[in-house]
């Protein structure tokens, strides 16, 4: 399985699409294909919220989206559900502070899969790294329409705080990020942006993803 060294993880963080069927009015498979055409570098299957698929339908969608990612060489991450990640041979799992214990997740998935952990403070970040996280998802950067139970808005300043505290692992900012605010998130020290609505909900998904890719690249020059 792919060795997820820090450099490979950092590259994957650049434009990270997070999506489930409830985040788009279009066919999720087509949205994913368009987002890949626009330049996303990582995909997370996050099937939750009102109206989310359950049971076989959820597993089938996961397998289909996983296949699209495989066809295009885009790594595939599963949100929350470690057993689903193993079942569909995902490249990794993302867990939050209220999900399964990160150290237990690491033990279950082994070293070959990527482990992402949500962190809102230096303390949470240090514990996540201790547990074996490959990257941190940090946010919300801004108010988000996509997560009803989101943590209070932290802003890009929290990323700068983590960097100042010596947290060197790849960081992706999440929450309410648009192409226009990407520069501020990157300038604070993030390696990329994780996005739901501004890509999955866009009328032109490919163009939206391309705008994020250009904004991220602009900060790397
Ligand atoms: C990349 C990334 N960062 C943070 C989150 C949020 O995870 P969590 O806090 O567990 O909330 P849910 O997404 O599970 O509702 C994420 N999913 N991805
Ligand atoms: C899953 C998640 N975790 C923190 S904010 C958020 C939602 C991000 O969605 P959007 O990009 O639409 O604000
Ligand atoms: Mg979670």
Sequence spans of domains, the chain? 6-220
Q: 126 CB under 6 A from ligand 1? A: no
- Report the catalytic residues: 46, 118, 147
Instruction: Return the closest-CA partner of residue 175 out of 205, 138, 206.
Output: 138
Query: 0.80 exceeded by the pTM?
Result: yes
Please tell me the predicted confidence (pLDDT) of residue 162: 98
Neighbours of 178 (CB within 10 A): 15
Please tell me the predicted confidence (pLDDT) of residue 220: 80
pLDDT digits (tens, 9 = 90+) for 76-135: 999 999 999 999 999 999 999 999 999 999 999 999 999 999 999 999 999 999 999 999
User: What CATH architecture applies to the domain 6-220?
Assistant: Alpha-Beta Barrel (3.20)
d(CA 77, CA 118): 14
At 151, is the secondary structure helix, strand, or coil? coil
- Read off the tokens for 186: 């990157």
Residue 31 in contact with residue 24, Cβ under 8 Å?
A: yes
Beta bridge partners of 119: 138
Q: 147 CB under 6 A from ligand 2? A: yes
pLDDT digits (tens, 9 = 90+) for 139-195: 999 999 999 999 999 999 999 999 999 999 999 999 999 999 999 999 999 999 999
d(CA 9, CA 184): 21
d(CA 170, CA 189): 9
Tell me, in angstroms, the distance from the centre of ligand 2 to residue 127's CA: 22
pLDDT classification of 59: cutoffs 50, 70, 90: very high
Please tell me the predicted confidence (pLDDT) of residue 1: 64
Mean pLDDT computed over 38-57: 98
Instruction: Please say if the pLDDT value at position 2 is more than 70.
Output: no
Tell me, in angstroms, the distance from the centre of ligand 1 to residue 137's CA: 7
Mean pLDDT computed over 197-203: 98
User: Is the ipTM of this structure higher than 0.90?
Assistant: yes
Instruction: Please say if the pLDDT value at position 37 is more than 70.
Output: yes
3-state secondary structure 68-94: HHHHHCCCEEEECCHHHHHHCCCCEEE
Residue with tokens 């237990």: 104
Please tell me the predicted confidence (pLDDT) of residue 3: 76
Q: 35 CB under 6 A from ligand 1? A: no
d(CA 22, CA 182): 24
């Amino acid at each position: 399985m792919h060795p997820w060294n820090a450099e490979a993880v950092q590259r994957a963080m650049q434009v990270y699409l997070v999506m489930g069927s409830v985040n788009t009015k279009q066919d999720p498979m087509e949205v994913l294909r368009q987002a890949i055409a626009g330049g996303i570098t990582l995909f997370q299957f996050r099937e939750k919220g009102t109206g989310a698929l359950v049971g076989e339908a959820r597993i089938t969608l996961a397998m289909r989206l996983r296949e699209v990612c495989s066809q295009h060489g885009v790594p595939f991450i599963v949100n929350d559900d470690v057993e689903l990640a193993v079942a569909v041979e995902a490249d990794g799992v993302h867990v939050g502070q209220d999900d399964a214990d990160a150290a237990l997740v690491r033990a279950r998935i082994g070293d070959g899969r990527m482990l992402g952990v949500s962190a809102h403070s230096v303390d949470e970040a240090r514990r996540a790294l201790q547990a074996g996280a490959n990257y941190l998802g940090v946010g919300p950067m801004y108010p988000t329409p996509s997560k009803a139970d989101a943590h209070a808005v932290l802003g890009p300043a929290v990323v700068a705080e983590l960097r100042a505290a010596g947290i060197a692992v790849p960081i992706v900012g999440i929450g309410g990020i648009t192409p226009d605010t990407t520069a501020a998130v990157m300038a604070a020290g993030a390696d990329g942006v994780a996005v739901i609505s501004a890509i999955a909900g866009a009328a032109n998904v490919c163009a939206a993803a391309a705008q994020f890719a250009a904004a991220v690249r602009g900060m790397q020059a």
